[in-house]
């Protein structure tokens, strides 16, 4: 049975959903091509710049010959063994993880904004990242292993439990004695964010090992230093699964932007869809937080820009979020290494410096709309 929206429903959906008009496929393909070129250029810079500068052509040869061993690119400069080690053991896994984290957080932010119909909603502001950080810190500081042999899996599982706890607490606070709205969910998320941040600080204060305390505090701000290939591989696989699942649910997510009543008329169960989508968001965010720490504002900034370029359709903005999120995170990681070289800033500092002005701009323009 097809649903014909009334004028009141259409106006309500338009006023509550921050969606831009959909763009043509030609427009989408053109912009995606440009974003892909920019991403590749930033990737070459990230692989080449650092304490040991490596020319772009040398980087290109190292990467291609490493992926395709039979390739002999003698026309390009011959790399040294040190340059090969720097690329393959340090910068390449780090850059891959940075791109994966940026893409995953951006897609999760896009889905969160669509479900809540508010452009100020993202996993960081709603407290999901803080909950995941608390769960991960619990494993790292107190040595809680949950029965897993691998510390990485234990940290990821702890982050997932913390993320689930934060989501449950947010909707519990937002829906007490009344139907939860986007504004109440966001304000509840801010409160939960502070609560879990305080818990994480308490765990750090209880840590008896100074080296553990220092490493956890640096990790909390977000960092890709000392990234290993196994971490990058696990994060990539889990993020691909999470993002592919969200893309598959794209039509249902778009239906949710019309409101629960309209979604039901389109054959979508809003309660079930909301639970399943948030479960997958928690899964993806938890894995990314466990390997990179808490990195804010990516899920806020990138979806907003993507919807400006591509319109409000989830699947149309999906690839833009992947490419732009990967580029932003890769660029932030590059700046974190270059600005205070030979030292290193936390990536979360760079993303916060970029995201905070945009957040203030959105608040100034009264972007928060109750639904």
Tell me the two tokens of residue 337.
């290494």
What is the arithmetic mean of pLDDT over 300-314?
A: 85
Confidence check: pLDDT of 357 > 70: yes
Confidence check: pLDDT of 199 > 50: yes
Give CA–CA dist 213/222, Å, rounded: 15
Confidence of residue 17 (pLDDT cuts 50, 70, 90): very low
What is the arithmetic mean of pLDDT over 126-155?
A: 82
What is the arithmetic mean of pLDDT over 204-228?
A: 80
Highest mean pLDDT among 69-73, 108-112, 114-118: 108-112
What is the arithmetic mean of pLDDT over 311-328?
A: 91
pLDDT value at residue 12 = 41
What is the arithmetic mean of pLDDT over 19-25?
A: 64
Confidence of residue 20 (pLDDT cuts 50, 70, 90): low
The region of weakest confidence among 119-123, 142-146, 162-166, 318-322 is 142-146
Domain map (residue ranges) of the chain: 28-368
What is the arithmetic mean of pLDDT over 66-74?
A: 79
The region of weakest confidence among 18-27, 179-188, 213-222 is 18-27
Terminal alpha carbon distance of the chain? 26
Give CA–CA dist 121/183, Å, rounded: 9
User: Which of these, 41, 13, 27, 95, lies nearest to 306 by C-alpha position?
Assistant: 27
Confidence check: pLDDT of 55 > 80: yes
What's the pTM? 0.87
pLDDT value at residue 260 = 83
User: Which of these, 108, 117, 109, lies nearest to 270 by C-alpha position?
Assistant: 117
pLDDT value at residue 178 = 63
What is the arithmetic mean of pLDDT over 29-46?
A: 93
Higher pLDDT, 282 or 309: 282
pLDDT value at residue 48 = 93
pLDDT value at residue 366 = 54
What is the arithmetic mean of pLDDT over 349-361?
A: 82
| pLDDT tens-digit readout, 74-92 | 788 888 899 999 999 999 9
Q: Is residue 124 within 8 Å of 294, Cβ to Cβ?
A: yes
**28-368: CATH topology:** ABC transporter involved in vitamin B12 uptake, BtuC (1.10.3470)
Confidence check: pLDDT of 175 > 80: no
Confidence of residue 23 (pLDDT cuts 50, 70, 90): low
Q: At which residue do the structure tokens 């956890």 appear? A: 216
User: Which of these, 91, 207, 65, lies nearest to 140 by C-alpha position?
Assistant: 207
User: Which of these, 225, 197, 342, lies nearest to 292 by C-alpha position?
Assistant: 225
Over pLDDT 70: what percentage of the chain? Answer: 89
Give CA–CA dist 196/226, Å, rounded: 26
Confidence of residue 216 (pLDDT cuts 50, 70, 90): confident
Highest mean pLDDT among 99-108, 142-151, 257-266, 336-345: 99-108
Give CA–CA dist 334/108, Å, rounded: 23
């Amino acid at each position: 049975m097809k649903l014909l929206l009334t004028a009141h429903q259409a106006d309500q959906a338009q006023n509550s959903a921050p969606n831009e008009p959909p763009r043509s496929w030609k427009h989408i393909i053109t912009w995606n091509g440009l974003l892909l070129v920019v991403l590749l250029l930033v990737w070459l810079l990230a692989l080449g710049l650092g304490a040991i500068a490596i020319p772009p052509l040398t980087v290109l040869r190292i990467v291609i010959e490493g992926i395709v061993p039979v390739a002999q690119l003698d026309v390009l400069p011959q790399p040294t063994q040190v340059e090969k080690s720097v690329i393959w053991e340090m910068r390449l896994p780090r850059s891959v993880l940075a791109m994966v984290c940026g893409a995953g957080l951006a897609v999760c932010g896009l889905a969160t904004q669509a479900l809540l119909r508010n452009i100020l909603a993202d996993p960081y502001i709603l407290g999901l990242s803080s909950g995941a950080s608390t769960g991960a810190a619990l494993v790292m500081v107190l040595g809680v292993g949950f029965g897993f042999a691998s510390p990485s899996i234990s940290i990821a599982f702890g982050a997932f439990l913390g993320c689930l706890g934060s989501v449950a607490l947010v909707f519990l606070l937002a829906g007490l004695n009344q139907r939860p709205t986007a504004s109440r969910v966001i304000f509840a998320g801010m409160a939960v964010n502070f609560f879990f941040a305080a818990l994480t600080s308490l765990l750090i204060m209880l840590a008896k090992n100074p080296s553990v305390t220092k490493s956890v505090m640096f990790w909390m701000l977000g960092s890709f230093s000392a990234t290993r290939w196994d971490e990058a591989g696990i994060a990539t696989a889990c993020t691909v699964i999470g993002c592919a699942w969200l893309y598959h649910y794209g039509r249902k997510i778009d239906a949710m932007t019309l409101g629960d009543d309209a979604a039901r008329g389109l054959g979508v169960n809003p309660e079930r869809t909301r639970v399943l989508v948030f479960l997958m968001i928690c899964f993806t965010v938890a894995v990314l937080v466990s390997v990179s720490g808490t990195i804010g504002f990516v899920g806020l900034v990138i979806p907003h820009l993507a919807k400006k370029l591509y319109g409000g359709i989830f699947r149309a903005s999906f690839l833009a979020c992947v490419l732009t999120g990967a580029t932003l995170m890769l660029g932030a990681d590059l700046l974190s290494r270059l600005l205070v070289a030979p030292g290193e800033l936390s990536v979360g500092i760079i993303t916060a410096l970029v995201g905070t002005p945009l957040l203030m701009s959105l608040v100034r323009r009264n972007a928060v709309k109750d639904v």
